[in-house]
Amino acid sequence: MGLLIDEKICDACGICIGHCPFGALEILSGRLAVKDTCRLCRLCIKSCPRSAIMLEEIRQRDIDKPGWQGVMVVGEQYDGVLHPVTRELIGEARVLAGETQPVYCMLIGGDVRACAGEVLQYGVNEVFTYENPAFNYFIADVYANVCEDCILKIKPNIVLIGATPLGRSLAPRLSTRFRTGLTADCTQLGIKPDGDLIQIRPAFGGNIMARIVTPRSRPQFATVRYKVMQPAGVVEKTGRILRMPVKKQWLASGMSILDVYRMPPQLNISDCDVLVVAGRGVKEQKDIAMIEELARLLNGQMACTRPMVEAGWVSYLRQIGLSGRTVKPKLIITCGVSGAVQFTACMEGSECIIAINKDPEAGIFRVAHYALVGDLYEIIPRLIQNIEEGLHASK
Amino acid sequence: MDIVVCIKQVPAASNVEVDEKTGVLKREGIETKMNPYDLYALECALRIAKEHGGTVSVISMGPLQARSVIREAYMMGADTGYLLSDTAFAGSDVLATSFALSQGIRAIGGVSLIVCGKQTTDGDTAQVGPAIAEYLSIPHAAWVTQIVSVDETGIEVRQTLADRIQTARLGFPCLITVEKDIAQPRLPSYLKKKETSGRLVQVLTLQDLPDRDASKYGLEGSPTQVEKVFPPGSNIHREVWRGDKELADRLYGLLKEKKHL
């Protein structure tokens, strides 16, 4: 397996070298050579004006694509209360399924009767419930056993799982069990006529998006974060609930739960309507106070980017991004945020995005509705002053 | 007790950008470092080994240049290091990567505990840890924030699942993925660097693994394919304002107009 270079055609023009994100191509004594940093991303193949680069053929496995139909959502609930990401996944599943394909939802828990009724009104054709007191607690391999049973019985083409702490722990176990593909944190989904799922997500740790497909295996697994997709609308219930038997052997695991407690309600920036975000343009820890002050005046919360958490200036609870939370507030003001895709992918659904950055080329301006090219140290203090004076005047 | 920590070499900065006009990737010199989340995993393993006895191995997959992150792990106190490196592994997605790592761990043998960082900063998927556990048919706990206790037969951990804190016991062998707050990583030590400068990094190729079926690795063993990469979309309804202080006044006006004030 690897890249093949047709030396009769290749004229060592070097165009491909500029396209390689991994620095894996070089010209050695007048010939194009591939280094071991190659990750077979195939960008060079597409860039070559002479079509001199090829991939060694992959053995195609025969899969029975028509044997896998419909879209299944793995629902998530705690103590009989449905996680809102499930409704969003059902909304997306209905779009992907269109008029002809069924939408399924499976629910695992101690008592999921209320959730099952709720899920039906979101337009699901069949809800599969698996109930057992052991399912009150999350053990990834036990949940994977249950999901495996449902997937084997239904054979869905696509399985959508919420990119929550639970979903992100369960999904990779499950996709590995089926030896199939899983794409994490998709920001957009689509479907091809042959049922292949088009999965779009930030990639390569750079400012690039990737379109990913799983053409050779079924089912196709994807996780989607909370607050990314549109929640399903309520429709007349036409679907049905099927109570599924639970087998004892599924409950066996080398892991046991000793204790569970609910944390006192803590800040969740995903639920805030207004966020003011501190990025690397905030130079000193003490300046965080200014961002907090603006957030307070706007009845919102302060949030931040990953470098702020790594520097230890702000709690990770306030971090937006692929290693933090996804947000969709009514108003978001970013202060000195450069806008890496890992960040923008997790806030671009916000209703109004105001970005302040000195660099007119900053990536954040791609998603901003209002791009303020200027110094946050000039703008924020004066804005705070304006607001305070305005409050004073209105009293 | 033998502990294995999975580590990865990642780009030091997210500097891969696409020129929107030409579609060409803009690449500054690619500097690399150990995935920052793996430092917490390694620190956690070193502390368990120190307190309860045992060895700490690190395993990584990548080109030969990734030996440098294994050396870095030696400087922090890891005992042995393995690098899965073979052209057969090139182009691996999550499934093929976790299969190769699980095979590497089988090749090492006798492992009680596998510790992974919560995710990498380049892929950001958080999938490889749980997938390794599935391949090895062992239990796993993700998002571990605290090690409660360790004994001969297992480990008790605390994990955070949204608003719930779950305390669980996992019998050995098992896998955990740890959060950033679990333990403050030590800095690489100069003494350790000198001490370990001659220590080998064991390179594992396909031939060294229990399962040598090449179709399960690399591109061929990867069910997902990247069809295309492209720059993130732009918001077309965008207003650009330039200036400094006067922008504060305009912004104040906008916030009032939108009834946020």
Q: Which ipTM did the prediction report?
A: 0.91
**Chain B environment of A259 (Cβ under 8 Å):** 166-167
Cβ distance A208 to B215 less than 8 Å, yes or no, reads no
Question: CA A214, CA A196: separation in Å to the nearest integer?
Answer: 7
- Could you give the percent of chain A with pLDDT greater than 90? 75
Mean pLDDT score of chain B, rounded to an integer?
A: 90
What does pTM read for this prediction?
0.85
Tokens linked to A343: 């960040």
**Chain A environment of B240 (Cβ under 8 Å):** 360, 365, 371, 373
* DSSP for chain B, written as a single string: -EEEEE--EEESS---EE-TTT-PEE-----EEE-HHHHHHHHHHHHHHHHH--EEEEEEES-GGGHHHHHHHHHHT-SEEEEE--GGGTT--HHHHHHHHHHHHHHH----EEEEES--TTT----HHHHHHHHTT--EEEEEEEEEEE-SSEEEEEEEETTEEEEEEEESSEEEEE-GGG-PPPPPPHHHHHHHTTPPPEEE-GGGSS---GGGSTTTT---EEEEEEPPP--SS-EEEE-SHHHHHHHHHHHHHTT--
Cβ distance A206 to B232 less than 8 Å, yes or no, reads no
Q: Does B258 have pLDDT greater than 90?
A: no
Q: Are B176 and B140 in contact (CB under 8 A)?
A: yes
Question: CA B80, CA B74: separation in Å to the nearest integer?
Answer: 7
- The closest of A150, A153, A253 to A161, measured between CA atoms, is A150
| CA-based end-to-end distance of chain A | 74
Cβ distance B232 to A344 less than 8 Å, yes or no, reads yes
Residue A215 DSSP code: T
**Chain B environment of A331 (Cβ under 8 Å):** 255, 258, 260
Facing residues of A388 across strands? none
Question: CA A143, CA A140: separation in Å to the nearest integer?
Answer: 5
Nearest by CB to A386, which of B181, B237, B248? B248
Tokens linked to B5: 């920590």
Nearest by CB to B16, which of A39, A141, A207? A207
The burial class, CB within 10 Å (0-12 / 13-18 / 19+), for B259 is exposed
**Chain A environment of B149 (Cβ under 8 Å):** none
**Chain A environment of B25 (Cβ under 8 Å):** 18-21, 43, 206, 208
**Chain A environment of B165 (Cβ under 8 Å):** 260-263
Q: Does B178 have pLDDT greater than 50?
A: yes
Nearest by CB to A370, which of B127, B135, B254? B254
Run of H or E residues at A262: strand A255-262
Q: In Å, how far are A87, A220, B117 from B2, measured between CA atoms?
A: 44, 36, 18
Question: CA B95, CA B156: separation in Å to the nearest integer?
Answer: 28
Query: What average pLDDT score do residues B126-145 get?
Result: 96
Positions of chain A with pLDDT under 50: none
- Neighbouring residues of A166: CB distance < 8 A, sequence distance ≥ 6: A76, A138, B161, B162
Interface test with A, best of B15, B34, B247 (most A CBs within 10 A): B247
- Could you give the percent of chain B with pLDDT greater than 90? 75
| Pairing mode of beta strands B80-84, B202-204 | parallel
Size of interface A-B (CB pairs under 8 A): 337
**Type of residue numbered B30:** I
Contacts 24+ apart (CB under 8 A), A331-334: A331/A273, A331/A274, A331/A275, A331/A298, A331/A300, A331/B255, A331/B258, A331/B260, A332/A274, A332/A275, A332/A276, A332/A277, A333/A275, A333/A276, A333/A277, A333/A294, A333/A298, A334/A277, A334/A279, A334/A364, A334/A368
Cβ distance A206 to B243 less than 8 Å, yes or no, reads no
| Pairing mode of beta strands B2-6, B55-61 | parallel
Around Cβ A260, how many Cβ atoms within 10 Å?
Answer: 15
**Chain B environment of A256 (Cβ under 8 Å):** 168-169
Query: What average pLDDT score do residues B34-52 get?
Result: 96
Cβ distance B162 to A164 less than 8 Å, yes or no, reads yes
Question: CA A75, CA A10: separation in Å to the nearest integer?
Answer: 52
Question: CA A244, CA A205: separation in Å to the nearest integer?
Answer: 42
Sign of CA dihedral A248, A251, A254, A258: negative
Q: Are B175 and B114 in contact (CB under 8 A)?
A: yes
**Whole-number pLDDT of residue A23:** 84
- The closest of B124, B30, B113, B38 to B73, measured between CA atoms, is B38
- The closest of A347, A358, A354, A348 to A369, measured between CA atoms, is A354
Rg (CA), chain A: 25
Q: Does B151 have pLDDT greater than 50?
A: yes
Interface test with B, best of A175, A338, A357 (most B CBs within 10 A): A175
- Neighbouring residues of A371: CB distance < 8 A, sequence distance ≥ 6: A355, A357, A364, A365, B238, B239, B240, B241
**Chain A environment of B16 (Cβ under 8 Å):** 21, 204-208
Interface test with B, best of A38, A40, A61 (most B CBs within 10 A): A40
**Whole-number pLDDT of residue B27:** 46
| Pairing mode of beta strands B80-84, B55-61 | parallel
Distance, C-alpha B148 to centroid of its chain: 23
Query: What average pLDDT score do residues B244-260 get?
Result: 89
| CA-based end-to-end distance of chain B | 60
Encode pLDDT of A184-203 as tens digits.
999 999 999 999 999 999 87
Better-predicted residue by pLDDT, B132 or A41: B132
Question: CA A384, CA A388: separation in Å to the nearest integer?
Answer: 6
**Type of residue numbered B61:** M
Question: CA A316, CA A4: separation in Å to the nearest integer?
Answer: 45
Q: In Å, how far are A187, A277, B43 from A308, measured between CA atoms?
A: 24, 10, 22
- Please report which confidence band the pLDDT of residue B15 belongs to, taking 50, 70 and 90 as the band edges: low
**Whole-number pLDDT of residue A371:** 95
Q: Chain B residue with minimal CA distance to A60?
A: B220
To the nearest whole angstrom, how far is the Cα of A239 from the nearest Cα of chain B?
30
**Whole-number pLDDT of residue A9:** 84
**Whole-number pLDDT of residue A61:** 62
C-alpha torsion angle, residues B15, B21, B22, B26 (rounded to 10): -10
Encode pLDDT of A209-223 as tens digits.
889 999 999 999 999
- Neighbouring residues of A300: CB distance < 8 A, sequence distance ≥ 6: A272, A273, A274, A275, A276, A329, A331
Tokens linked to A46: 């597409």
At residue B57, what are phi and psi to the nearest 5 degrees? -110, 150
**Chain B environment of A255 (Cβ under 8 Å):** 139-141, 168-171, 174
Q: Does B22 have pLDDT greater than 50?
A: no
Question: CA A17, CA A27: separation in Å to the nearest integer?
Answer: 9
Question: CA B190, CA B215: separation in Å to the nearest integer?
Answer: 42
**Whole-number pLDDT of residue A39:** 76
Q: Does B98 have pLDDT greater than 90?
A: yes
SS3 A253: coil
Cβ distance A177 to B134 less than 8 Å, yes or no, reads yes
Of A105-109, A159-163, B54-58, B254-258, least confident by mean pLDDT is B254-258
Encode pLDDT of B157-169 as tens digits.
999 998 899 999 9
